[in-house]
Amino acid sequence: MQSCEISGDSTDDPLSSGLRRKRQPRIVVIGAGLAGLSAAKALLESGFTDVTILEATDRIGGRVQSVKLGHATFELGATWIHGSHGNPVYHLAEDNGLLEETTDGERSVGRISLYSKNGVAYHLTNNGQRIPKDVVEEFSDLYNEVESCESSSHSMDEVSLSEFGEWTEIPGAHHIIPCGFIKIVEILARSIPESVIQLRKPVKCIHWNQSVSKEIERVADHNSDLPEEDKGSNVFVECEDCEFIPADHVIVTVSLGVLKKRHESLFHPRLPEEKVMAIEKLGINTTDKIFLEFEEPFWSSECNSIQFVWEDEAESESLTYPEELWYKKICSFDVLYPPERYGHVLSGWICGEEALIMEKCDDETVAETCTEMLRKFTGNPNIPKPRRILRSSWGSNPNFRGSYSYTQVGSSGADVEKLAKPLPYAESSKTTPMQVMFSGEATHRKYYSTTHGAVLSGQREAAHLIEMYQDLLQCRS
Q: Which of 457, 410, 438, 437 is nearest to 282 (CA)?
A: 410
113: pLDDT strictly greater than 60: no
Determine which of 117-121, 232-236, 294-298 has the lowest per-residue pLDDT on average: 117-121
Same domain, 381 and 293: yes
Lowest mean pLDDT among 10-19, 204-213, 243-252, 296-305: 10-19
Q: Give the C-alpha separation, 79 to 347, whole Å.
A: 12
- Greatest CA separation found in the chain? 81
Q: How many angstroms separate the CA atoms of 364 and 346, rounded?
A: 16
Q: Based on the domain organization, do 433 and 381 belong to the same domain? A: no
Query: What domain range includes position 346?
Result: 115-157+287-391
**3-state per-residue secondary structure call for the chain:** CCCCCCCCCCCCCCCHHHHHCCCCCCEEEECCCHHHHHHHHHHHHCCCCCEEEECCCCCCCCCCCEEEECCEEEECCCCEECCCCCCHHHHHHHHCCCCCCCCHHHEECCCCCCCCCCCEEEEEECCCCECCHHHHHHHHHHHHHCCHHHHCCCCHHHECCCCCCCCCCCCCCEEECCCCCHHHHHHHHCCCCHHHEECCCCEEEEECCHHHCCHHHHHHHCCCCCCHHHHHCCEEEEECCCCEEEECEEEECCCHHHHHHHHHHHEECCCCHHHHHHHHHCEEECEEEEEEEECCCCCCCCEEEEEEECCCCHHHHCCCCCHHHHHHHCCEEEECCCHHHHCEEEEEEEEHHHHHHHHHCCHHHHHHHHHHHHHHHHCCCCCCCCCEEEECCCCCCCCCCCCEEECECCCCHHHHHHHHCCECCHHHCCCCCCCEEECCHHHCCCCCCCHHHHHHHHHHHHHHHHHHCHHHHHHHC
> Do 443 and 360 share a structural domain?
no
User: Is residue 1 domain-resident?
Assistant: no
In this structure, the answer to whether residues 279 and 406 fall within a common structural domain is: yes
Reference 267, options 193, 185, 206; nearest CA is: 206
Res. 256: pLDDT tops 50: yes
At 359-370, the pLDDT tens digits run 999 999 999 999
Burial of 358 (0-12, 13-18, 19+ CB in 10 A): buried
pLDDT in tens, 421-442: 999 987 655 677 899 999 999 9
Q: Do residues 136 and 278 share a domain?
A: no
Mean pLDDT over 266-283 rounds to 96
Pair (253, 293) in one structural domain: no
Whether residues 242 and 321 fall in one domain: no
Does 198 reside within a domain?
A: yes
Do strands 267-268 and 303-309 pair parallel, antiparallel, or not at all (unpaired)?
unpaired
| 301 and 376 part of one domain | yes
Which range, of 240-244, 262-266, 319-323, averages the lowest pLDDT? Answer: 319-323
Residue 12 confidence (pLDDT): 42
Say if 120 falls within a structural domain: yes
Check: CB of residue 109 under 8 Å from CB of residue 173. Answer: yes
**Sign, Cα dihedral of 293, 299, 300, 302:** negative
Task: Tell me the average pLDDT across 237-263.
Answer: 96
396, part of any domain = no
Where is the domain boundary, 344, 373, 391?
Answer: 391
Taking only the tens place, the pLDDT of each residue in 61-75 is: 999 999 998 889 999
Residue 68, in any domain of the structure: no
Q: Quick check: is 21 in a domain? A: yes
246 and 311 inside one domain: no
How many structural domains is the chain composed of? 2
Residue pair 155/51 in contact by the 8 Å Cβ criterion = no
Distance CA 321, CA 53 (A): 41
> How confident is the model over 29-48, as pLDDT tens digits?
999 999 999 999 999 999 99
Checking if the pLDDT of 7 tops 80, the result is: no
Domain end marker among 356, 391, 426: 391
Same domain, 304 and 385: yes
Q: Are residues 198 and 343 in the same domain?
A: no
Kindly state whether residues 362 and 214 are assigned to the same domain: no
- The CATH number of the domain holding residue 235 is 3.50.50.60
Q: Which of 345, 371, 391 is the last residue of a domain?
A: 391
Residue 120 belongs to domain with CATH number: 3.90.660.10
* Residue 444 resides in a domain: yes
Write the pLDDT tens digit of every residue in 217-241.
Answer: 565 555 556 566 666 678 999 999 9
Q: What is the mean pLDDT of residues 173-179?
A: 92
Is there a domain that residue 57 lies in? yes
Q: For residues 223 and 266, which has the higher predicted lDDT (pLDDT)?
A: 266
